[in-house]
Chain A
Amino acid sequence: MINGIILYTIAIIYLGISFIKNKHKTKAALLSSWKMFRNVLPDLLAIMLFVGLALSLLTPSLISSIIGEDSGLLGIIYSTIIGSIAIVPSFIVFPLGHTLVQNGAALPQVAVLMSTLMAVGVASLSMEQKTFGHSFAYARNISAIIMSLLFAFIIWVVMT
């Protein structure tokens, strides 16, 4: 919430300065903001509904039971798959991860789940492809999966 207030304050200050300096440019800037918003809106709505569905079907206790302390490599694979479905913002991911650990999920599995949730998204892949092209979108998602797995491995070595 504080974050939102700061963002609004910064945006309003810059908008004010811009308006005083050049009305025409400010109008053009707002128009391009609006166009950008309009462009992403259909994909955004679909992704958010998808995340809502996924989060209500996969409850924390269900996930915890899949990726518990002795779930091992299979647990890592499940976490990677679940985490790669959709992209979820970090302010939802960390509280979710915290709940999972408290429910008995293992730390490396939760690490890979959180990391893929934030960086890998099959649900937003079509939007990413439209933006950067197929090849880049696939490559970026794959690199994020590799990062998440290595991160979980380090956590497993260092912290368990």
Chain B
Amino acid sequence: MKKLKRYRFFLILLLGLLLIAFMNQAIAIKTVQLTGKSILDMLILLPPIFILVGLLDQWVKKESLIRYMGEKSGIFGVLFTLLLATVAAGPLYIAFPIAVLLLKKGASVRYIVFFLGAWSTVKLPVLVYEFTSFGPKFTLIHICFGLVFYYLTGILFEKIYSQQKLLKHGMTKEL
């Protein structure tokens, strides 16, 4: 029963899809195709990312991660975070469990916010596409402004939220 409860949003949406299927079959079929494709994409992308995160959890010591992403990591912290955020593919919500793990290992709130911001702004695999479809000017403005903005947001959020406060929430306990 508890397991079923966790799927309630999915089931509600499924019900909605069923209703749409009665009214307009073309839209329902398109939805199934689009959803199926993105689930397939996810099932291909997620295992290596989660395996790497699991390995990181076991092998990287708290002290070394603090050196890379802790409060005193400086410009190296920025570059390390940027690298981590831009090479991984996938939508932002994949980054949430990763961010929690980094936080648990001692990453500072500033870099976590920057990590999430960079994840949603720059993706190396898609960079070429953005460049060719929107031009260099658009791409440069997007990346430079986005990164600066999220870094400043990180500095601001660091003053409001502490590591401990963020780690109190549900998902971390289960990890």
Question: Which residues on B sit within 8 Å (CB–CB) of A127?
Answer: 93, 96
Question: Which residues on B sit within 8 Å (CB–CB) of A87?
Answer: 91-93, 120
Pairwise interchain contact B30-A56, C-beta atoms closer than 8 A: yes
Question: Which residues on B sit within 8 Å (CB–CB) of A39?
Answer: 97, 171, 174-175
> Measured between alpha carbons, how far is A89 from B58 in the docked complex, in Å?
28
* B66 proximal to A (CB < 8 A): no
The number of chain B residues with a CB under 8 A from chain A is 80
Pairwise interchain contact B97-A45, C-beta atoms closer than 8 A: no
* A65 proximal to B (CB < 8 A): no
Would A43 and B93 be within 8 Å (CB), given that A32-B58, A119-B120, A139-B160 are in contact? yes
Question: Which residues on A sit within 8 Å (CB–CB) of B172?
Answer: 131
* A74 proximal to B (CB < 8 A): no
> Measured between alpha carbons, how far is A41 from B16 in the docked complex, in Å?
20
Question: Which residues on B sit within 8 Å (CB–CB) of A136?
Answer: 157, 161, 166
> Measured between alpha carbons, how far is A129 from B13 in the docked complex, in Å?
20
Pairwise interchain contact B93-A45, C-beta atoms closer than 8 A: no
- Residues of A contacting B: mostly: helix
Q: Which residue of B has the minimal Cβ distance to A119?
A: B120
Which residues of A come within 8 Å of B, CB atoms?
A: 2-4, 7-8, 10-12, 14-15, 18, 25-26, 28-37, 39-40, 42-53, 55-57, 87-92, 94-95, 97-98, 101, 107, 111, 115, 118-119, 121, 124, 126-133, 135-136, 139-140, 143-144, 147, 150-151, 154-155, 158-159
> Measured between alpha carbons, how far is A126 from B49 in the docked complex, in Å?
22
Pairwise interchain contact A131-B134, C-beta atoms closer than 8 A: no
Pairwise interchain contact A25-B170, C-beta atoms closer than 8 A: no
Pairwise interchain contact A121-B93, C-beta atoms closer than 8 A: yes
Min Cβ gap A112→B in Å is 11
Pairwise interchain contact B34-A55, C-beta atoms closer than 8 A: yes
Q: Which residue of A has the minimal Cβ distance to B44?
A: A4
Q: Could you show 23 A-B contacts with beta carbons less than 8 Å apart?
A: A32-B57, A33-B54, A36-B53, A36-B54, A39-B175, A42-B7, A42-B10, A48-B38, A49-B10, A49-B14, A52-B36, A87-B120, A91-B89, A92-B38, A94-B133, A127-B93, A131-B99, A131-B100, A140-B116, A147-B146, A147-B149, A151-B141, A159-B138
Question: Which residues on B sit within 8 Å (CB–CB) of A44?
Answer: 42, 93
Q: Which residue of A has the minimal Cβ distance to B120?
A: A119
> Measured between alpha carbons, how far is A140 from B116 in the docked complex, in Å?
9
Pairwise interchain contact B51-A15, C-beta atoms closer than 8 A: yes
Pairwise interchain contact A98-B116, C-beta atoms closer than 8 A: no
Contact with A along B43-59 (1 / 0, CB 8 A): 01111111111110111
Q: Which residue of B has the minimal Cβ distance to A128?
A: B96
Question: Which residues on B sit within 8 Å (CB–CB) of A51?
Answer: 34-35, 38
Min Cβ gap B110→A in Å is 13
